[in-house]
Amino acid sequence: MRFMFVGDSMTIGRAGDYTWRYRMWQHLRSTFGGPFQIVGPRSALYDLHAEAPVSQDYADPGFPDKARRHLAGWGEGWQHMAPVIGEAVAGHRPDVLLISLGLIDLGFYTLADETAANARRFVAAARSARPGIRMVLLPVVPNVRAESDAAFAAECARFNELLAKAVADLDTDASPILLGARPRGYDIHRDTYDGTHPNAAGEHRLAGEFAAVLHQAWGIGGPYRGSDGS
């Protein structure tokens, strides 16, 4: 089975991070019970000094090169991924997409309705490239900005409602789509290093939510046994 991670800065990670992608790879390695691959057109972390995705400085240098693959970008959201997902899926043939997108769109680019429309475009393009593809989506977890910006908080809430409707509308037996939940116990003041981006504890919580959905809905892997530490 082939998995592709799709996301924004929370998914690509910065130089020196483990990333939730790494936590998920560890989980699959210990619970999947068969061969699997992590696929995607990119592998780098974002380098804050270079202001570009050019780093391979993962916190665990033993993270295998092939397992570092992804389709994630610092500052990239649904509007950036919708035009490129078809080519990525056609080229790398993932069976399952694990997707965490939306916060950057709402924060900088598009309001909830247009962001949801881009999510629907993304789903259509992925299916056009691989009709039987499966997808797991996480809702937006509002960041620290939502605590002081009521309009932004409202857009986050509205988008999550629209995303749930999109999943309900677009889910099919041939190409199922699942919507995860806000990771259990996720606290932006404890589980991020800046109110947005996950620290070690947050990485585990994000990976744990994807793992729970995969296991409970499709019997993929097992219960998540990661910790809140590094």
- C-alpha gyration radius of the chain: 16
pLDDT digits (tens, 9 = 90+) for 204-220: 999 999 999 999 999 99
Q: pTM score > 0.75 for this model? A: yes
pLDDT at 230 over 70: no
pLDDT digits (tens, 9 = 90+) for 19-32: 999 999 999 999 99
Helices (H), the chain: 9-12, 20-31, 78-81, 85-92, 103-104, 112-129, 150-170, 200-218
For range 61-82, the mean pLDDT: 98
- Give the confidence band of 226 by pLDDT, cuts at 50, 70, 90: confident
Domain map (residue ranges) of the chain:
2-7+20-37+78-218
Q: How many other C-beta atoms lie within 10 A of the C-beta of residue 77?
A: 24
Identity at 46, one-letter amino acid code: Y
- Percent of the chain past pLDDT 90, that is, above it, reads 97
The answer for residues whose C-beta is within 8 angstroms of residue 22's C-beta and 6 or more apart is 58, 59, 60, 63, 67, 203
Helix/strand/coil percent split, the chain, to 5: 45, 15, 40
How high is the pLDDT of residue 86?
98
pLDDT at 229 over 70: no
Report the CATH fold assignment for 2-7+20-37+78-218.
Answer: Rossmann fold (3.40.50)
pLDDT at 227 over 90: no
Which H/E stretch holds residue 3? strand 2-7
For range 44-72, the mean pLDDT: 98
For range 37-51, the mean pLDDT: 98
Beta bridge partners of 55: 45
Q: Which two tokens stand for residue 208?
A: 């744990």
Average pLDDT taken over every residue of the chain: 97
How high is the pLDDT of residue 187?
97
pLDDT digits (tens, 9 = 90+) for 139-155: 999 999 999 999 999 99
How high is the pLDDT of residue 40?
98
How high is the pLDDT of residue 69?
98
